[in-house]
């Protein structure tokens, strides 16, 4: 489970990342990444934060929650790989409901890495 410090919780933050972020898409997800500006150089920009968008087009509530839980587990694993100071929003596409764990893990990991490279 992601700690509160590692989650995007405000709607304005979601909109900002999706609108300004660098996108990387696969068959199962669209990942938007933006680097947060550092207000205080001594403290940095804060921890990396993740947000998830799983719309009704993905499936019923049970399916959406399964996809969301998988994405959260993937994000928890990526915290060590992504440098601090980034906001990442993962939008699940309808194909994510049919994707297996290894496929979803590979797609989202690769997309996050590409997004961080573009946003740096």
Domain locations in the chain as residue ranges: 4-119
DSSP per-residue string spanning 72-89: HHHHHHHTTTSPSSEEEE
Q: In what order do the strands lie in the sheet with 29-35?
A: 22-25, 29-35, 86-92, 49-54
In tens, the pLDDT along 30-82 reads: 999 999 877 645 555 789 999 999 999 999 999 999 999 999 999 999 998 99
What are the structure tokens assigned to 46, written together?
């804060």
Asked whether 108 and 91 are in contact (CB, 8 A), the reply is no
Strand 86-92 to 49-54 pairing = parallel
Burial (0-12, 13-18, 19+ Cβ within 10 Å), 37: exposed
Mapped onto helix, strand or coil, the DSSP state of residue 100 is coil
What are the structure tokens assigned to 19, written together?
């609108």
What CATH number is given for 4-119 in this structure? 3.30.230.10
In tens, the pLDDT along 74-120 reads: 999 999 899 888 999 999 999 999 999 999 999 999 999 999 998 87
């Amino acid at each position: 489970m992601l700690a509160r410090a590692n989650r995007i919780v405000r709607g304005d933050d979601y909109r900002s990342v999706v609108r300004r972020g660098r996108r990387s898409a696969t068959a199962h997800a669209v990942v938007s990444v933006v680097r947060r500006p550092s207000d205080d150089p001594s403290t940095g920009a804060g921890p990396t934060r993740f947000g998830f968008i799983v719309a009704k087009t993905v499936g019923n509530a049970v399916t959406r929650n399964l996809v969301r839980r998988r994405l959260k587990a993937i994000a928890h694993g990526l915290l060590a790989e992504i440098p601090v100071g980034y906001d990442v929003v993962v939008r699940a596409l309808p194909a994510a409901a049919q994707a297996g764990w290894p496929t979803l893990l590979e797609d989202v990991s690769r997309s996050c890495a590409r997004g961080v490279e573009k946003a740096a």
